[in-house]
């Protein structure tokens, strides 16, 4: 009866099945932005070929045609496309709409990938103070200016800053607590806020309407999009991307301070790969990180 019911309902197309998979997985993902990116990845690369094909009829030839043009030129993207097509077809197997997954048969035909490692564009740490001052002077009081400087001062990731909400901020104690669901590591991160970062939050409050839960909102009262800060830096002729300021911070800490590496890595919310080091680091080194971030503030914003 169940099989007959499914037959009467009809087998979904690959595009329809993809939407269902995203809806099913969404609750466990870090953000709605990730869900959109997951679907958009398939929309761009897979749907033109198999979007209208019944999920039961997708073949290894289809997957091979999708991946071959990008396998060696867009390695990371191609792997994501393969992984996501496979996930949709695994769902179809679970729903008893097919019995095999063609994604498992084509990797040896595509051959090994040789990715070119590309690093995020970053400024030498000695140029960060001038870049912050340039942006602040050029666009004083704008929300993207505030978000950019907050990102640099906290050495946080762009998504963490753009998605920040007021309930995460304890301005009295100078602590920003980012929940595990918003962290790349999947672990809660407490970020010490220096004096300038707290002043930025005060300005951001004045820009808002007092009702929006998001700290840095655009003109439509929504969180800033992922490209907003990149555009800001290009506008001011700064040859770096937002994420690159984490590298600037790391280089400064290594070259100009005596702060231990484990404190710096904790400030960057990096996963500890060494089991020995992970066992040793039983705390989040918060007070030591607070001193580190205060030194960083003095280095990049001495007049604030």
Q: Is residue 1 part of a domain?
A: no
- Judge if 44 and 136 occupy the same domain: no
Domain final residue, candidates 77, 110, 143:
110
Domain final residue, candidates 110, 136, 154:
110
Question: The CATH number of the domain where 177 resides is what?
Answer: 1.10.443.10
Q: Is residue 140 part of a domain?
A: yes
| DSSP string across 2-56 | HHHHHHHH-PPBHHHHHHHHHHHHGGGSS-HHHHHHHHHHHHHHTHHHHTTSBTT
Over the Cα atoms of the chain, what is R_g? 23
Domain final residue, candidates 61, 80, 110:
110
Q: Is residue 290 part of a domain?
A: yes
Residue numbers in the chain where pLDDT is lower than 50: 1, 8, 276, 280
- If one counts the domains in the chain, the total is 2
Instruction: Quote the tokens at residue 184.
Output: 């790349």
Q: Is residue 271 part of a domain?
A: yes
Answer whether 209's CB lies under 8 Å from 216's CB: no
Q: Is residue 286 part of a domain?
A: yes
Which tens digits make up the pLDDT trace of 229-243? 999 999 999 999 999
Q: Is residue 146 part of a domain?
A: yes
Which tens digits make up the pLDDT trace of 50-79? 999 999 999 999 999 999 998 988 888 899
Q: Which domain holds residue 236?
A: 125-300
pLDDT (0 to 100) of residue 281: 53
- Judge if 150 and 292 occupy the same domain: yes
| DSSP string across 188-236 | -EEEE--HHHHHHHHHHHHHS-S--SBSSB-TTSSBPPTTHHHHHHHHT
Question: The CATH number of the domain where 24 resides is what?
Answer: 1.10.150.130
Q: Is residue 3 part of a domain?
A: no
pLDDT (0 to 100) of residue 1: 47
């Amino acid at each position: 009866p169940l099989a007959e019911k499914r037959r009467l309902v009809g087998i979904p197309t690959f595009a329809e099945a993809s939407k269902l998979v995203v809806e099913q997985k969404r609750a466990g993902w870090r953000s709605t932005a990730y869900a959109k990116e997951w679907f958009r990845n398939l929309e761009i690369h897979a749907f033109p070929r198999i979007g209208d094909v019944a999920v039961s009829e997708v073949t290894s030839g289809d997957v091979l045609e999708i991946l071959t043009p990008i396998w060696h030129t867009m390695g990371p993207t191609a792997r994501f496309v393969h992984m996501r097509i496979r996930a949709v077809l695994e769902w179809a197997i679970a729903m008893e709409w097919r019995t095999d997954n063609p994604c498992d048969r084509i990797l040896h035909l595509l051959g090994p990938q040789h990715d070119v490692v590309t690093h995020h564009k970053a400024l030498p740490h000695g140029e960060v103070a001038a870049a912050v001052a340039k942006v602040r002077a050029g666009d004083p009081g704008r929300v993207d200016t505030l978000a950019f400087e907050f990102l640099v001062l906290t050495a946080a990731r762009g998504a963490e800053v753009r998605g920040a909400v007021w309930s995460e901020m304890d301005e009295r104690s100078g602590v920003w607590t980012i929940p595990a669901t918003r962290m790349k590591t999947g672990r809660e991160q407490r970020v010490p806020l220096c004096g300038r970062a707290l002043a930025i939050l005060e300005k951001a409050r004045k820009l808002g309407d007092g009702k929006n839960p998001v700290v840095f909102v655009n003109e439509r009262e929504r969180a800033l999009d992922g490209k907003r800060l990149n555009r800001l830096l290009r506008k001011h002729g700064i040859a770096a991307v937002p994420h690159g300021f984490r590298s600037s911070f790391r280089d400064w800490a290594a070259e100009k301070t005596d702060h231990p590496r484990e404190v710096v890595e904790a400030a960057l919310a990096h996963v500890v790969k060494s089991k020995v080091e992970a066992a040793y680091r039983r705390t989040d080194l918060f007070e030591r990180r607070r001193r580190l971030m205060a030194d960083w503030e003095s280095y990049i914003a001495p007049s604030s």
